[in-house]
Structure 1
């Protein structure tokens, strides 16, 4: 397998800290961010890497050379005019005949690449996109997925109506089958704006790989400072799923939002005071923030699964306005008491996921 790093960024928002420095050479922990990405790929057994450069690309090539000293073979393609993310990638057509990993060159990353690749192979998708919640979904591309991890809808950051959305963000790491090139026209074109919406329109299979591992865009001064702190503290490496993870498990009603008896409409949801602040503190700690909640409104037929998802979208939207997020929400739709005419009998069961049973926690552990 081969990999591609899109490293054409100017680093405009970092120019006060690093003038005349291409974004890929911005330092993190004493070495360029691109070097961390190359190390991640090589350690996963991917040794042939294409670096697609733009602004001051000669500095990147001068720094890394052939890659031989890093046990890698590096190829450079310099764009003379901006081609967009997909347009730049199109330059590899004819050079790649197998699945390929694509990373954006401004990401601070440490994740279990082997698990991502196994997921991609299992899903048999044309494209697998890494997704996660973050503390700035308002300036990120958002997705809607189903329980099988198929991408259903794509909401680009630059052309998204105001509304209620799940905090599920495109993390800018992809795995593509080689036939992806047939869907990319020549010229200036972008994955988020052009290609992914086209693939969905044409009913091509795109899957989402959700992870809580460390993947952050360091393209602003604040984000670079935060990423540098996390790297120096070791948090970046500890979030890799090859390591044991720690989490804070939160109930929903009465803990995050006001307790409304049998909340079944998103307009009823109101955050408790300081709930966002508390969750943001978890986000900035060593711990994952995971919500586990009994939602018998499904079994009672007060709302359906789609309406419950809208309630959770509302919850995530309100938290995101305060730069807070939940790494995951797990819910039990069941209720043990049956015999009511309006109930949904298939959910009126004794189950292992209804608290105080441990099924939801165990599901999170397995994930």
Structure 2
């Protein structure tokens, strides 16, 4: 099976304050780093040899994942002393990438069907395959333009004006000869440097368009949306779809969401009461999970701007609502003490 490279060296300035103490891919969603979702996704498709580019706060990644054995994968770290862009570290590791390989952005929250992407790449005999997705607002991404055979004919990074909304997700399958042919030392970016060069030289670059879940966790707003998507059941992580099934996750009808306002000064007291009265494992002060004896769970998320968001799941819709309201009332009571 091919190797994968996860790009995890970015500083994540737009995602502050979450990235002040950890690398951007280590920001948690339901007590699990974003990077762990990516590793589990790769493993679910049989990819166990993983290279991770690191730079900013690299120790937070290495201390958590180690050599990967705890996650049933083999991890090699590509340490960058200074930022080398999205592609610079990959080019320096060309001696480790002698077969076609997959590239995945470390801040991507996705369940893209990797097996379908690889099959598409092989069927097109592509030098490089980009994975794309239609989004409502493409201004922060690179827009892909293709012909009828899905060959890339144009690419515009973060346009001020545009046509179309099919954007680059930062997921690629790459043939190793490109690392030799276009090699150069120093900072290098896939979108700004490599892809334009490939287009200029009419290389065989194709675009696989997906309907799978994908969200770029690049700023606090997208981060919050990703957490809420997972809570609502709109994202099914780590699942290689069975034959005949669609890529799109199904909304779980028995998850109820309740929002409770809470002044920031009262939040530490509410968190303390949660830890004390509900025996919640202390992992992340932003998210808590309470398992229910009769099945199901309640997750309570501390939202920096909106107090607390409560999600309850149960085998009956009415029970889910009752559980969410129950914890909502508790939080309101704790604020008044």
Q: TM-score, normalised by structure 1?
A: 0.64
- Looking at structure 2, the residues matched to 54 and 246 of structure 1 have their Cα atoms a distance apart, in angstroms, of 33
Match of 1:213 in 2: 212
- With over 3 angstroms needed to count, the CA separation of the structure-2 counterparts of 1:126 and 1:167, relative to structure 1, is same
- Greater strand percent: which structure? 2
- Looking at structure 1, the residues matched to 25 and 162 of structure 2 have their Cα atoms a distance apart, in angstroms, of 34
Does 1:168 pair with 2:166?
Answer: yes
Match of 2:176 in 1: 178
Q: TM-score, normalised by structure 2?
A: 0.69
Q: Secondary structure at the match of 2:188?
A: coil
Q: How many residues align?
A: 248
Q: Secondary structure at the match of 2:139?
A: helix
Q: Secondary structure at the match of 1:142?
A: strand
- Looking at structure 2, the residues matched to 136 and 36 of structure 1 have their Cα atoms a distance apart, in angstroms, of 25
- With over 3 angstroms needed to count, the CA separation of the structure-2 counterparts of 1:212 and 1:82, relative to structure 1, is same
Greater mean alpha carbon deviation, residues 180-189 or residues 203-212? 180-189
Deviation at 1:238, TM superposition (A): 8.2
- With over 3 angstroms needed to count, the CA separation of the structure-2 counterparts of 1:164 and 1:68, relative to structure 1, is closer
- Looking at structure 2, the residues matched to 245 and 95 of structure 1 have their Cα atoms a distance apart, in angstroms, of 34
- Looking at structure 2, the residues matched to 76 and 147 of structure 1 have their Cα atoms a distance apart, in angstroms, of 39
Q: Is the 8 A contact 2:25 2:35 kept in 1?
A: yes
- With over 3 angstroms needed to count, the CA separation of the structure-2 counterparts of 1:150 and 1:88, relative to structure 1, is same
- Looking at structure 2, the residues matched to 85 and 14 of structure 1 have their Cα atoms a distance apart, in angstroms, of 17
Deviation at 1:231, TM superposition (A): 1.2
Which deviations, in whole Å up to 9, do the C-alpha atoms of 1:301-333 show, x marking residues without a partner? xxxxxxxxxxxxxxxxxxxxxxxxxxxxxxxxx
Does 1:198 pair with 2:210?
Answer: no
Q: Is the 8 A contact 1:87 1:187 kept in 2?
A: yes
Match of 2:10 in 1: 9
Which deviations, in whole Å up to 9, do the C-alpha atoms of 1:108-157 show, x marking residues without a partner? 01121111111111011110000011133011111110110100011122
Deviation at 1:246, TM superposition (A): 9.9
Q: Secondary structure at the match of 2:95?
A: coil
- Looking at structure 2, the residues matched to 55 and 239 of structure 1 have their Cα atoms a distance apart, in angstroms, of 26
Q: Is the 8 A contact 2:16 2:220 kept in 1?
A: no
- Looking at structure 2, the residues matched to 106 and 139 of structure 1 have their Cα atoms a distance apart, in angstroms, of 14
Counting only pairs closer than 5 Å after superposition, residues 1-367 of structure 1 correspond to structure 2 as 1-157=2-158, 160=159, 162-182=160-180, 183-237=182-236, 242=241, 244-245=245-246
Q: Secondary structure at the match of 1:242?
A: coil
- With over 3 angstroms needed to count, the CA separation of the structure-2 counterparts of 1:140 and 1:60, relative to structure 1, is same
- Looking at structure 2, the residues matched to 107 and 246 of structure 1 have their Cα atoms a distance apart, in angstroms, of 17
Deviation at 1:94, TM superposition (A): 0.9
